Structure 1
């Protein structure tokens, strides 16, 4: 996990350097009074490399993916909670449903 975290930090640093390089490139273009069309190709490579490193680290750092079993007792979304005292069935949706049935009078 520590290796993946370091890879993510390196990817983030690459993205920040690409942004800084683009800002510097635009400043040079202002001095030379040229029109900005796109950043240089090395900035594109830096962005793609930094993005892929950050994506890889984002998938590797949290850990192993586990499957979701709907028949499991630990899955609280598939079963009702044991304490039903805090379940509220009176909410704003009831008012919206009533207003939807109203008809406009002309």
Structure 2
């Protein structure tokens, strides 16, 4: 089994994000033990988060491969005719037989 560069980058980015999550949890526990108030994360954790997210995004981009163009056949049906337009389907059900002049409920 061959692992691509995109797969390795995505995996490294995800491992970095998990490590960042664990570092944030440990930092918050340390603040609770020292009874300090949380104001912001240390710059090293924020930098690790940004780098891990960028590496994971780059890996996912490389893993996806090139974008393929969608080509409609020349003699095929057009998009307007070929679509099913499920938004406009109406259902015939028993509620159509109900009278329309039903008085509102009287709450007493």
Q: Please state which band the TM-score falls in when normalised by the shorter chain.
A: 0.5 to 0.7
1:53 to 52, 55, 71: 55
1:47 and 1:104, CA in 2 relative to 1: closer, same or farther beyond 3 A?
farther
Corresponding residue pairs, total = 94
2:15 to 7, 13, 16: 13
Structure number with greater Rg is 2
Alpha-carbon separation, structure 1, partners of 2:42 and 2:5: 30
Q: What's the Cα RMSD here?
A: 3.7
Relative to the length of structure 1, the TM-score reads: 0.68
Q: Which residue of 2 aligns with 1:70?
A: 72
Point out which structure has higher relative CO (alpha carbons under 8 A, 6+ apart): 2
Relative to the length of structure 2, the TM-score reads: 0.67
- 1:35 deviates by 0.6
Residue 64 of structure 2: SS of its match in structure 1? coil
Segments ≥4 residues shifted beyond 4 Å: 75-80, 102-106
* Unmatched segments (≥5 aa) in structure 1: 81-86
Contact in 1 for aligned 2:5/2:62 (Cα 8 Å): no
